[in-house]
């Protein structure tokens, strides 16, 4: 079937596979298409989202109140606006939520783990904050140290830049959040996290959760199958508490569940940008360490090491 042909008669030499005109035209077409696609995406991405709760466009000052003097029997709407202003006085992006865990006080009771399961409605087998046990020394001189390990809410979270769909991001107040509706379940974030803080939903769970008390459920959405989840510093409690004018770390309603439950008071929570917050005071008073600081992740969970009895002021 194949006739012996002159080598110059090959597939490309005659006729030319693509004339210069065709090449230029095709190139221009591809270039125009690419430019159109890129500009469409850039325009789409630079347009401000309307439901963004933070940022320069957020209304923070209601000048109308400047002319109204506070009164005891003022209108309830005016009162509400005053409260709103109060809780917006410090923008959320200037907050710096931090957890301090005192390993000297922790007795390893796992109450925090249970409170977290009930608060966040964790499916069976998933734990956001295990309490790890270490043993030092030899019998009879044995010491135990318990290290509760929530998500570190890193300043440079390794899980965020790797996500191919931007389903996980750092909120302006530093909490690393997950969009369960965006996530494709590739588990790159799980591989990237040095703390093993993320747990994947390997199977569907829609039964009643035995860990959630019968008298009430929190307003935390259940995660679908096929996405990872992790400790969120209970940001639903923080957000709701702030809207009510409460102070996270001081008022229990605005504080993560694990901090509230701890029977030893071994942990504190608060805004590190506020010098009066419980965490600022603790960290000013005692030395502290963080886990795997050498990785440069900048964890926001601080641990207070064991120290002499009575050294606590």
Partner 1 sequence: MTTLAIKPRKFAMPGPLQVWLAGLATIMVAGLAAGLIVLSRGLVVTNLTDLVPWGLWITIDLSAIAMSAGAFSLSAAVYLLGLKRLAPLARTATFIGLIGYSMAVLCLMLDIGRPDRFWHALVFWNPHSVLWEVTMCVTLYFTVLVIETTPIFGGLPWLKRRWPRFSNQLVGLHRLAPLLALVGLGLSMLHQSSLGATYGVLKARPIWYRPDLSVLFMLSAIAGGQALTVLATTVTARLRPQIKLEAEALDKVSRFIGWTLVVYTYIRFWDALSMTYTYLPGRTEGLRWLTRGPFAFNFWVGEILLGAVVPSLLLLAPRLRQLGWTRTVALALVVGGVVAYRWDVNLVGQLVLLSYLPTEITARYTQYVPSLIELVSGAGIVAYGLLAFTLGARYLNVVDHGHERAHATVSKTTALPLAEAAGAD
Site residues (CB under 8 A) for partner 1?
1-3, 5, 9-13, 15, 17-18, 22-23, 26-27, 30, 41, 45, 132, 134, 136, 147, 149, 158, 161-167, 182-188, 190-196, 198-204, 224-227, 289, 291-292, 295-296, 303
Instruction: Using the minimum distance from each CB to partner 1, give the nearer residue, 134 or 253.
Output: 134
Q: How far is the CB of 209 from partner 1 (least distance, A)?
A: 17
297 CB-near residues (< 8 Å, 6+ apart): 152, 154, 155, 156, 157, 158, 194
Q: Report how far residue 271's alpha carbon sits from residue 59's, in angstroms, rounded to the nearest whole number.
A: 22
Q: How far is the CB of 98 from partner 1 (least distance, A)?
A: 18
Q: How far is the CB of 86 from partner 1 (least distance, A)?
A: 36
Instruction: Using the minimum distance from each CB to partner 1, give the nearer residue, 91 or 158.
Output: 158
Outline where DSSP puts E strands in the chain.
Answer: 97-102, 131-136, 143-148, 168-170, 176-178, 199-200, 228-229, 267-271, 301-304
Outline where DSSP puts E strands in 203-311.
Answer: 228-229, 267-271, 301-304
Q: How far is the CB of 267 from partner 1 (least distance, A)?
A: 17
Q: How far is the CB of 206 from partner 1 (least distance, A)?
A: 12
Instruction: Using the minimum distance from each CB to partner 1, give the nearer residue, 36 or 295.
Output: 295
For residue 28, give Cα distances in angstroms to 18, 39, 41, 43.
14, 16, 20, 22
φ and ψ of 89, to 5 deg: -55, -40
DSSP 8-state symbol, 134: E
Q: How far is the CB of 223 from partner 1 (least distance, A)?
A: 11
Instruction: Using the minimum distance from each CB to partner 1, give the nearer residue, 1 or 59.
Output: 1
Instruction: Using the minimum distance from each CB to partner 1, give the nearer residue, 34 or 244.
Output: 34
78 CB-near residues (< 8 Å, 6+ apart): 65, 68
In total, the chain counts a number of residues equal to 313
Instruction: Using the minimum distance from each CB to partner 1, give the nearer residue, 30 or 243.
Output: 30
Partnered with residue 169 across adjacent β-strands are 177
């Amino acid at each position: 079937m194949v006739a012996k042909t002159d080598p110059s008669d090959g597939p490309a030499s005659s006729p030319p596979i693509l004339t210069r005109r065709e090449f230029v035209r095709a190139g221009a077409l591809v270039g125009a298409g690419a430019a159109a696609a890129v500009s469409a995406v850039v325009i789409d991405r630079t347009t401000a989202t309307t439901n963004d709760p933070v940022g320069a466009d957020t209304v923070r000052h209601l000048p109308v109140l400047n002319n109204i003097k506070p009164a005891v029997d003022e209108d309830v709407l005016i009162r509400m606006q005053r409260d709103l202003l109060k809780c917006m006085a410090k923008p959320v992006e200037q907050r710096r939520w931090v957890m301090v865990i005192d390993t000297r006080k922790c007795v390893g009771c796992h109450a925090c783990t249970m409170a977290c399961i009930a608060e966040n409605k964790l499916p069976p087998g998933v734990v956001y904050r295990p309490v790890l046990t270490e043993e030092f020394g030899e019998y009879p001189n044995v010491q135990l140290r318990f290290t509760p390990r929530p998500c570190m809410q890193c300043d440079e979270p390794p899980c965020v830049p790797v996500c191919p769909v931007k389903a996980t991001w750092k909120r302006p107040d530093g909490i690393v959040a997950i969009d369960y509706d965006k996530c494709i379940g590739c588990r790159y974030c799980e591989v990237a996290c040095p703390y093993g803080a993320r747990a994947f939903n390997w199977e569907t769970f829609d039964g009643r959760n035995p860990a959630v008390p019968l008298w009430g459920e929190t307003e935390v959405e259940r995660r679908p199958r096929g996405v990872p989840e992790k400790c969120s510093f209970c940001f639903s409690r923080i957000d709701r508490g702030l809207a009510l004018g409460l102070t996270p770390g001081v008022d229990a309603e605005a504080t993560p569940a694990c901090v509230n439950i701890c029977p030893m008071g071994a942990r504190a929570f608060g805004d590190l940008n506020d010098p009066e917050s419980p965490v600022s005071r603790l960290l000013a008073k005692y030395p502290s360490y963080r886990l795997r600081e050498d990785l440069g992740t900048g964890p926001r969970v601080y641990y207070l090491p064991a120290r002499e009895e009575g050294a606590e002021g």
